[in-house]
Amino acid sequence: MENCPCCSGLKFKDCCADKISRKNPAQTPLELMRARYSAYAVKDIDFLVFSQDSRTHSGNIRQEIVDFANAVKFIKLEIHNHQHDNETQGHVNFSAYYASNGQIHRLTENSQFIFKDGEWFYLSGDTDFSTLKINRNETCPCGSGKKFKRCCANK
């Protein structure tokens, strides 16, 4: 993989790869959110489970993540805002775009993060899902420059 899925403009190896492999833990909620998005894109389920605060794990969290990651193709990330609320809490508001069954969907979330035991963890999020109406001849929202019908509409 060349470019990082998180749309930072950096190469994957210089951006989220070390955070996902836990060689270089995220230093901010924004870094963790970008790494979690990239982990969904590359289907690194272990990192997604690890980076979510254990108090929020449901009995089938791993399967829920696997099912979602396998059902979609993440295509674009937009960061709307982010901040540290204090030294142990922060939030990131973002939109993640993904293709599924020939349609583009947008997940918009205000995510809450917590810092404990020297690392940031995803705690929770207020999420809104929507399906975008894109004409087959419009430019694909993934940024490829191709028409939608020749790009993500086929995924």
Tokens of 37: 């998005």
Q: What is the mean pLDDT of residues 126-150?
A: 87
Distance CA 129, CA 108 (A): 6
DSSP conformational letter for 43: T
pLDDT of residue 149: 82
pLDDT bin (cut points 50, 70, 90) of residue 153 is: confident
Q: What is the mean pLDDT of residues 36-50?
A: 95
Q: What is the largest CA-CA distance in the chain?
A: 50
Domains for the chain: give ranges and CATH numbers: 12-154 (3.10.450.50)
Q: Where are the beta strands (DSSP E) in the chain?
A: 73-86, 89-100, 103-116, 119-132
Instruction: Decide if pLDDT at 19 tops 80.
Output: yes
User: CB–CB of 122/111 below 8 Å?
Assistant: yes
pLDDT of residue 57: 72
For 78-91, the pLDDT digits (tens) are: 999 998 878 899 99
